[in-house]
């Protein structure tokens, strides 16, 4: 299950000018979960509610004030893993225009539910 190209506005960066105004970041997540029950039942209760996770990600990111996209990616993973049906998550956070002559700077992480 994936949430692709979620654009959020947040304070992110280490330079003083980056701390003054929110800027866009792009979040992509792949949620690892068992989709068989929902595939058989056609019921939302049998799967991950990606709309609810999306809303939680927007709220968390827009209220955050991180310096590093690595930290934002870690917090995205934490939010996703709060859903008991998510066993693991892959997260990519892109910061457009962070580098001269490059579309974006990005980090990708993979986290599993702790036993």
Query: In the numeric block, which tokens belong to residue 87?
Result: 């066993």
User: Hey, which residues are catalytic here?
Assistant: 95
- pTM of full prediction above 0.85: yes
Q: pLDDT tens, 55-109?
A: 999 999 999 999 999 999 999 999 999 999 999 999 999 999 888 888 989 999 9
Q: pLDDT tens, 19-46?
A: 999 999 999 999 999 999 999 999 999 9
Q: How far apart are CA 10 and CA 27, in angstroms?
A: 12
In the block, residue with structure tokens 């996770």: 53
Opening angle at CA 114, ends 113 and 115, nearest 5:
115
- Around Cβ 5, how many Cβ atoms within 10 Å? 9
């Amino acid at each position: 299950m994936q949430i692709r190209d979620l654009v959020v506005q947040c304070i992110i960066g280490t330079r003083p000018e980056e701390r003054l105004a929110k800027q866009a970041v792009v979040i992509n997540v792949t949620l690892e979960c068992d989709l068989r029950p929902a595939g058989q039942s056609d019921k939302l209760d049998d799967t991950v509610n990606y709309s609810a996770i999306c809303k939680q990600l927007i709220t968390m990111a827009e209220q955050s004030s991180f310096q590093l996209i690595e930290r934002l990616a870690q917090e995205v993973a934490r939010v996703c893993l709060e859903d008991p049906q998510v066993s693991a998550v892959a997260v990519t956070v892109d910061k457009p225009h962070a580098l001269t002559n490059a579309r974006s700077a990005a980090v990708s992480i993979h986290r599993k539910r702790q036993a």
